Amino acid sequence: MKYSPDYYAEQESCIPKGKLRTRFAPSPTGFMHLGGLRTALYAYLLAKKVDGTFLLRIEDTDQERFIPGAAELIYDTLKQAGIIYDEGPDVGGPVGPYIQSERREIYLAYIELLIARGGAYLCFCEKEVLDEQRNINRASRIAHKYDRRCMRLSKEEVAAKIAAGEPYVVRQKMPTEGTAFFDDLVYGRIEMENATLDDQVLLKRDGLPTYNFANVVDDHLMGITHIIRGNEFVPSTPKYILLYEAFGWTAPQFIHCAPIMRDATHKLSKRDGDAYFSDFVEKGYLIDAILNYIALLGWGPGGREEKFTLPELVEAFDIKGLSKDPSIFDYKKLHSLNGMYLRAMSEAEFHAAALPYIRQGVKREIDTAYVASVLKERCEVLSEIPEQLDFIDEQPVYSPALYDNKKMKTNPENAKAALIEIVPVLEGVKDWNPEVIQRELLALVERMGAKNGHILWPLRVALSGKMFTPGGGIELCVILGKDESIRRLRKAIETLDEFRAEQIEVAEVFVERAAIADEPAVEQAISAPEPTKDVPRPVVTAKEPAARRALTDPAELVRIAGLAKLNVDDKAEAYCEAIAPIMKVLDTLIDMELPTAGAFPFVEGVNLFREDVGRGPRSRAELLAERERLLAIAPAVEAGCISVPKVLGREE
């Protein structure tokens, strides 16, 4: 043998003993996947729980998948996450090298030892030969296994082929009888019939080991006592057990973890690109929250507590809590957990974390510390911040309909009145801070005998042009500053004046076009029975031709009913009175027994309540919903800030 017994004795003597030792052994193929990070975390927690050793090993024997710089990404990610390894490629240790491509000599030595012990043999078969055998097995519908033709070569034949420079691989000689088994600490006893196992390749033609060989040799020589990995490796583990036995080694304990799923049928996948650690960091999730959440994907702490720091995870972790079932990645839960971490930060910590995102959303000079203090209780992911602040540099164009708020009892008309009162109050504030602004505005509320929302909701809308903002009107005043706040309030008042003028103009045009029917004709038309082939609709005398047309055109009937009581001399009163006859029509229709959709003329008629003519309410439920809609906008109609066309659901 090329390697003497002393070589193996020296390797064995270096194996650390006495402590629990775990490892994380990723391939350097790109960014860190959340599943891989979870494996590293569990291995770290298991070791640190009992003051053991956690090491990092880079498994780069598959050179086709190797990506330059990926190993450094692994180092950086683990350190960024706080998963600090005791031994590894960049920190050293007693059983290095910790990169497999640098351990080639070790693998060659142990391949030689395994061959000498009768556990492996050289295979010179070309790919074409193997493909032919695979096709024969497929045609015969039997599981493919190498037929061991090279194992039957004599020593002389093997030596001759080596001397001739023929390439070869080394295969593991699997037993053909008995059972290979191991006791997994999560799944229990797992067995496999030896007769079903193929003679797997251990050393490739390029002289590099396969994963199946290298990881067994490395785990033994590095003294690994517990191996945590994904359950996709369960089918291969019996082969590893046989390899340990072939060397005469004691196998470590195995702990296989169920996968993380994107949904009920799909795993989180690198190929799908939906679960990289770095992506979540870039989206504004805190590293501690990510780590906390992935710990809970497949492990239960046994209590109600779910928020853990890394030291708390070390204390709480127990492999008995690992689940056999897959875990669904719940983005909402991560979102919520991240919010808990943000709110637990000190003001200074949150400001530091939020500052880059604040600067993404705001270019002008503002008090970023104050903005952060306002955001802190209203933010769950840092990447939400820029969108929340997009009104600060430039106020977006917004619809006056934002002032309509049923809860606050506001509408464009009373909002304008509130803003007119707010401006001089804010102009009189000398010390521009939230306490003084709040005191003065609440004093205004008291003087007006109004509710807080009656003042503060219009203030919020006028300053931001948004329904949802970081903080309310008072906080927005502080963020924008006195001059900008007052400028925006004055602009809002001007906009509401323009909006009111436009509404009146629309109403005037509408009223001019309206035909005014006499009430008895409308009443009789509404209450008339539905005509049939034998019983025609009764003739109703009407003063206006439009009312007569309504008898044969239900849409016209509803339109006229909606205008019958319009007062052309008082536009605000006209808005209000427009609702009453429309409600009467709806009530009449609702009280009737409606037949199949579309068959009843009045149902066709109420399509005027929708912008899309011809798609009006077609059922009792839809009519009831329409009635509720009209009731909901009644206060705004009374204030004269919703036009008749809008009441009817169309624009004239």
Tell me which residues are annotated as active site.
270
C-alpha to C-alpha distances, 314 to 53, 225, 253, 317, nearest whole angstrom: 13, 18, 20, 6
The answer to whether residues 32 and 73 touch, using CB atoms and an 8 Å cutoff, is yes
165-191 burial by CB neighbour count: b if 16+ within 10 A, else e? eeebbbbbbbeeeeebebebbbbeebe
What single letter denotes the amino acid at residue 64? Answer: E
Tell me how far CA of residue 413 lies from CA of 352, 466, 491, 495, in angstroms.
42, 18, 15, 12
305-313: long-range contacts (C-beta < 8 A, 24 or more apart)? 306/337, 307/337, 307/340, 307/341, 310/82, 313/41, 313/45
Residue position matching structure tokens 């219009």: 458
Closest to 209 (Cα-Cα) out of 113, 89, 108: 108
Number of other CB atoms surrounding residue 578 within 10 Å: 27
Q: Is 10 exposed, middle or buried (CB count within 10 Å of its CB: 0-12, 13-18, 19+)?
A: exposed
Helix spans in 23-126 (H): 34-49, 70-81, 104-116
SS3 at position 201? strand
Query: What is the Cα 563 distance to its own chain's centre?
Result: 51
Task: Reduce the DSSP state of residue 216 to 3 states and report it.
Answer: helix
> Sign (positive/negative) of CA torsion 28, 32, 38, 41?
positive
- What is the spatial distance between Cα 511 and Cα 577, in angstroms, rounded to a whole number? 13
Q: What kind and span of H or E run contains 128?
A: helix 127-139
Using an 8 Å Cβ cutoff, are 330 and 357 in contact?
Answer: no
